Amino acid sequence: MNFTEFRTYTENYGKALQGFISSDSFQSGVVDSTKASFKGSHYSVEIQENGTFRVLPANSIGNLYQSEGLIIAIPTLDVTDLNELQDEAAMSEDEAYSFLFDDQLDDLKEELEEALELKLYQVSQSVTE
């Protein structure tokens, strides 16, 4: 892969990740990943160079799963205030998760973007070897 091809490759994955972040799947994926983290698991997003993506629970990926795209763990919410929001602010669980998501949105986006940068760096290192 030459430099121009790699630049196009990274741009395509960047667009795919932004498509995921702009979708409803982002919030539901973060909430699902957060809930799964209580049981020691998580959710990931598999993004493809063609711009498509899908959310996967960790147990459906496994060690033998070979993706043609990139798989990135979906970050979880900091739920330190979850019980307080439900008890003192009288929010339902869904309302509390939605509030936390909105409050932490910038950090969640940044975490995913940094994870993509790391994956792309790892790809670039394997291509140059």
Q: Write down the pLDDT at residue 83.
A: 82
Q: How far apart are CA 9 and CA 109, in angstroms?
A: 20
With a cut of 90, say whether residue 66 has pLDDT above it.
no
DSSP letter string, 49-81: TTS-EEEEEGGGTTTT---SSEEEEPP----TT
99-114 residues labelled b (16+ CB within 10 A) or e (exposed): bbbeebeeebeebbee
Q: Which residues contact 84 (CB under 8 A, 6 or more apart)?
A: none
pLDDT by residue (tens digit) across 40-57? 999 999 999 999 999 999
Length of the chain: 129
Q: Which helix (H) or strand (E) holds 47?
A: strand 43-47
- Mean of per-residue pLDDT scores for the chain: 89
For position 41, what pLDDT does the model report? 92
pLDDT tens sequence across 2-17: 778 888 888 999 999 9
pTM of the shown model: 0.88
pLDDT at 129 over 60: no
Q: Would you list the domain boundaries of the chain?
A: 3-75+106-123
Higher pLDDT, 88 or 29: 29
Tell me, what's the pLDDT at 128?
61
